[in-house]
């Protein structure tokens, strides 16, 4: 561990899930749950901030009493769990969306639509889903609860609607490189990655950092009173936006480089350690 072990007056903590709050078994330990509950009781707002849609968030997280807001789909939506309604959305704009889907359909990849908190795929994607899960069993939690619909692409083109995120999985890393290059020059979307086999395409306004600060503003919390904990590329803008950035011990080098503090790994209750070390709420 490195970094300054200085207690700060933090009023909002954003927690990435995969590789951060969840350990390698995709579970939240009882110790981490207890630390999160205790800090909420002391008045700190704790916000799960994830690339997942609401439907893919494990029930274990919702069972932590006091968590009211969740930031999902890389910042495309913030949901108030008390009312079950969004308090903010940054959906993909209709312009360029149909063309984007047409381009992706021609590639050898698995394409998911995140919409209204759920994951949708065309029925034709069942085969690619099975192959990818067989090749990368670690993606099971990220690809679960998919709703397969007949003629989804045709229905989408007939009546296009703004969605939260296009989520891509690749069997061939060369195809991933092609997609990155093709959309780099178009500059329509924000494109990030949570794991090596994946790309996430969202609106340029759907960034964890931007969305988190909008929530903080709604709650009357200053930027310098916010903290975020993360590990991967899709956490970079969130960590850059908050007052205090914390990288997991298992985080990517570029995540550690921009962070104020490096905590323990996700298999060592790194989130709990960071909260206990950095947050002063006496």
Contact present, 267 and 24 (Cβ < 8 Å): yes
- Tell me which residue of 245, 243, 275 sits closest to 258, measured CA to CA: 245
Domain that holds residue 63: 2-90+206-278
Q: Are residues 74 and 210 in the same domain?
A: yes
Q: Are residues 210 and 86 in the same domain?
A: yes
Q: How many domains does the chain have?
A: 2
**In the prediction, which pLDDT does 160 show?**
82
Pairing of strands 198-202, 165-170: antiparallel
pTM for the predicted model, two decimal places:
0.86
For 64-96, what is each residue's pLDDT tens digit?
A: 999 999 999 999 999 999 999 999 999 998 889
Q: What is the number of alpha carbons within 13 Å of residue 245 lying toward its C-beta?
A: 21
Q: Are residues 166 and 137 in the same domain?
A: yes
Q: Are residues 193 and 251 in the same domain?
A: no
**In the prediction, which pLDDT does 3 show?**
46
**In the prediction, which pLDDT does 142 show?**
66
pLDDT confidence band for 8 (50 / 70 / 90) = confident
Instruction: Give the residue-averaged pLDDT of 218-240.
Output: 95
pLDDT confidence band for 254 (50 / 70 / 90) = very high
């Amino acid at each position: 561990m490195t970094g300054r072990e200085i207690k700060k007056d933090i009023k909002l903590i954003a927690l990435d899930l995969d590789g951060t709050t969840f350990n390698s078994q995709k579970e939240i330990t009882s110790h981490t749950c207890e630390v999160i509950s205790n800090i909420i009781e002391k008045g700190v707002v704790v916000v799960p901030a994830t690339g997942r849609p609401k439907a893919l968030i494990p029930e274990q997280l919702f069972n932590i009493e006091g968590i009211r807001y969740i930031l999902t789909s890389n910042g495309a939506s913030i949901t108030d769990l008390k009312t079950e309604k969004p308090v903010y959305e940054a959906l993909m704009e209709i312009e360029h969306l149909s063309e984007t889907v047409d381009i992706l359909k021609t590639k050898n990849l698995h394409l998911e639509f995140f919409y209204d908190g759920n994951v949708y795929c065309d029925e034709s994607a069942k085969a690619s889903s099975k192959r990818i899960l067989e090749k990368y069993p670690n993606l099971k939690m990220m690809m679960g609860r998919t709703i397969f619909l007949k003629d989804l692409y045709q229905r989408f083109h007939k009546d296009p609607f703004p969605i939260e995120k296009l989520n891509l999985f690749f069997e061939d890393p060369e195809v991933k490189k092609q997609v990155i290059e093709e959309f780099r020059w178009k500059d329509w979307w924000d494109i990030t990655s949570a794991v090596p086999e994946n790309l996430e395409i969202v609106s340029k306004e759907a960034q964890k950092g931007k969305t988190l600060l909008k929530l903080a503003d709604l709650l009357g919390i200053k930027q310098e009173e916010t903290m975020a904990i993360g590990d991967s590329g899709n956490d970079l803008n969130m960590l850059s936006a908050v007052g205090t950035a914390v990288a997991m011990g298992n985080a990517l080098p570029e995540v550690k480089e921009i962070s104020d503090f490096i905590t323990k790994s996700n298999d060592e209750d790194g989130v709990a350690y960071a909260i206990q070390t950095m947050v002063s709420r006496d």
